[in-house]
Structures are given as structure tokens and as C-alpha cells.
Amino acid sequence: MAKRRTSGIQRRARASDEAMTRRLGSGGGSALDMRVVALLGILAVGAVVLVVVLMFGAGGAQAQVGSRQVDDGGGHIADGQTGSGYSSNPPTSGQHWTTPAEWGVYTGANPAVPYQVIHNLEHGGIVIWYQADKLDEASVKSLDDWVRQQVQTPQFKVIVSPWTGTDFGHPIAVTAWNWLLYQDKLDLDQVRAFVEDHYQDAPEPNGGPGPPG
């Protein structure tokens, strides 16, 4: 009798172990699988977010060509007067004549006037200054030729002129409203990039004059 009781107890124990094993093999395994799937899903979403940030976030933070300057305002002075209070050399904003200059190429015989062309910057244009004693003739010709072509395009608001004011320490200065780029040698690709970044980015971008005739 004692042996039979022991055998019965052993059978019940084995049955209990088998039932527990079945439960673990079914429900326990499914719960574990779901946790793994959830974890993989979270990792996948994180990877997608990282790719989006790298593609669009970094592009949005890309620096523009040139250096941002202090906004000196846009007050008008009478044509022919001398302005004052400029934070940069050449100026990129501030007091300027009532009448803007025509777009295009200016020469040493008839250079552009800084107090006038600030008005052109206010209308979204680009003004390129060069110091003739610091820039070779071939580079001056390249600049002039490029501007002559540029004023025939939809982005026609461009001026190039020799600089006759205080030395700004570089051969070339490219200006837009509140932006300035110095160059120690002519880099037309960089000039084009400056134009793309800052053209029409000004308080009165729809102002004239119109394209050269």
C-alpha cells in the first residue's frame, strides 16, 4: 500500500510538472515573443526618427554664406548727402539716398556711391565691391563679365564697382542687406552661393529699379 501511495504521489507530481511546462511553453512563450516584437518596433521607429533628423534637421541648420551684420536701419537722406553710423565696411544697411542706383557694372571713372546703393540692398540686391589696387585686372574683368551676364537673368539685381572709401582690408567685399562676405581672391562660385542665399532677402524686395535695358 505504501508503494502505491508513493506512486500516486509521483504520478500527480509528474502531471503537475507537465501541466506547468505546457503553460510555460504556450502562454509564457507568446508573452516573450510580444515583448521582443515591441522592442524591435521601438528600435525601428527610433532609427526612422534619427534618419529624418539627419536629413532635414542638419540641412535646416546649414550656415549661410557670409557674415551677418548689425542692422543699422534704413533711414533716407537727401541724394548727394553723406550718411553716417555704419557698423560695417562696406555698409550693409543704414542711412541711404532716396534714389537707388541702376544695376550693372560701374568703373573707376564712375564708381557706385555707397550711400546710394544701400538703397539697392534694401530692395533685395547684391553689391560687389573690389579694391582696384588689391585685385588683378583678370579678376576685375571676370567680375565685370559675370555681372553683365547676371543682370540679364531673373536675378538681375546685382552691382559691381570699384571701392573708393576706407580700406576694408580685402580685395573683394560682397554685400547684401545685413550680410557681408570678404574674399582675398575671386571665387565666383562663392559669389553665386551668396547671391542664392541673400537675393531679395531684404525689407523691400519688390523695389526697383527694373532690369537694365
More confident residue, 37 or 25: 37
Q: How confident is the model at residue 197 (pLDDT cuts 50, 70, 90)?
A: very high
Per residue in 65-93, pLDDT (tens digit) is 999 999 999 999 999 999 999 999 999 99
Model pLDDT for residues 123-141, shown as the tens digit of each residue: 999 999 999 999 999 999 9
What does DSSP say about strands 179-183 and 67-68: parallel, antiparallel, or unpaired? antiparallel
Neighbour-count burial of 117, counting CB atoms closer than 10 A to its CB (0-12 exposed, 13-18 middle, 19+ buried): buried
Decide if pLDDT at 27 tops 60: no
**Largest Cα–Cα separation, the chain:** 129
Gap between the Cα atoms of 182 and 132, Å rounded: 15
Answer yes or no: is pLDDT of 46 > 80. no
**Residues 170-182, mean pLDDT to the nearest whole number:** 98
Q: Exposure of 205 by Cβ count < 10 A (0-12 exposed, 13-18 middle, 19+ buried)? A: middle
Does 23 have pLDDT greater than 60?
no
What pLDDT digit, counting tens, does each position of 113-126 carry?
999 999 999 999 99
The yes-or-no verdict on residue 61 having pLDDT over 90 is no
Count CB neighbours of 168 within 10 A: 17
